[in-house]
Amino acid sequence: MQAHLATFLAELREVDERGLPRYVELEFARYLACGILSEGFTRVRCDGCGNDFLVAFSCKSSGICPSCTARRAHEVAAHLVQHVLPRVPERQWVFSFPRRIRWHLGNDPDLMASALNMFLRALFTSTAVGRAGSA
């Protein structure tokens, strides 16, 4: 990416003089500097072995940097588990449609609301029956 970013941005400006939004260009620049010692670092000392380590600064991006995005996702998941979600059994339900139908649902809020209502009714009916049968 580092070798081609300047060319990519220049070609975009040829097509559209605005190019990419400034915040997107900054995101790319921060990503290219992420984890590179010459861009900034801190020294960490291990009390156990006495060795010093250099730790490069990260971009703390939530967009294109896979390392920082994964770290952030892990931190959010840990926060949810430790502080937000109750300590009860949970179940995840996924509501998906064939690709042909997705466009229609995405462009028609009333149709999407109807589909969601049907899904929830079926879900609540099946879970209520399951609970009533096991009681």
Q: Residue 83, SS3?
A: helix
- C-alpha 18/C-alpha 25 separation (Å) is 12
- C-alpha 97/C-alpha 118 separation (Å) is 13
pLDDT tens string, the chain, 135 residues long: the values are 888 989 999 998 898 888 888 888 888 988 988 888 998 999 999 899 999 999 888 888 777 888 888 888 899 999 998 998 888 777 788 888 898 899 999 999 999 999 999 999 988 888 776 555 454
Sequence-distant (6+) residues with CB within 8 A of 20 are 9, 12
| pLDDT (0 to 100) of residue 130 | 52
Residue-by-residue DSSP string for 29-93: HHHHHTT-GGG-EEEEE-TTT--EEEEEPP---SSS-HHHHHHHHHHHHHHIIIIIS-SS-----
- C-alpha 5/C-alpha 100 separation (Å) is 35
Under 8 Å between Cβ of 58 and 39? no
- C-alpha 27/C-alpha 63 separation (Å) is 7
Every domain of the chain and the residues it spans: 5-84, 99-129
| pLDDT (0 to 100) of residue 94 | 83
| pLDDT (0 to 100) of residue 104 | 92
| pLDDT (0 to 100) of residue 135 | 46
